Amino acid sequence: MDTYLLAGRPVHRIGFGAMQLPGPGVMGPPRDRDEAVAVLRRAVELGVDHIDTAQYYGPDIANELIHEALHPYPEGLVLVSKVGAVRDEKGGWPAAQRPEQLRAGVEDNLRSLGVERLGAVNLRLLDHPSDDPAQSVPLEDQLGEMVALREEGKIAGVGISNASLEQVETAIELAGLVCVQNAFSLVDQHDTPVLDRCADAGIPYVPFFPLGSAFPGMPKVTDDPAVRTVAERLDATAAQVGLAWLLAHRDNVLLIPGTSRVAHLEQNLAAGDLRLSEEDLAELSAGR
Q: Which residues are catalytic?
A: 57
SS3 11: strand
- Candidates 11, 92, 89, 22; CA nearest to 55 is 22
Which residues, other chains included, contact 44 with Cβ-Cβ below 8 Å and sequence gap of 6+?
A: 70, 74, 77
At residue 279, what is the residue type?
A: E
Tell me the angle at which helices 61-70 and 33-45 cross, rounded to the nearest 10 degrees.
60
Distance CA 101, CA 95 (A): 9
Cβ atoms of 284 and 227 closer than 8 Å: yes
- Candidates 212, 209, 207, 201; CA nearest to 249 is 207
Distance CA 77, CA 243 (A): 22
Cβ atoms of 143 and 123 closer than 8 Å: yes
Distance CA 23, CA 21 (A): 7
Distance CA 273, CA 187 (A): 22
Cβ atoms of 19 and 57 closer than 8 Å: yes
Which residues, other chains included, contact 267 with Cβ-Cβ below 8 Å and sequence gap of 6+?
A: 237, 239, 240
Distance CA 234, CA 248 (A): 16
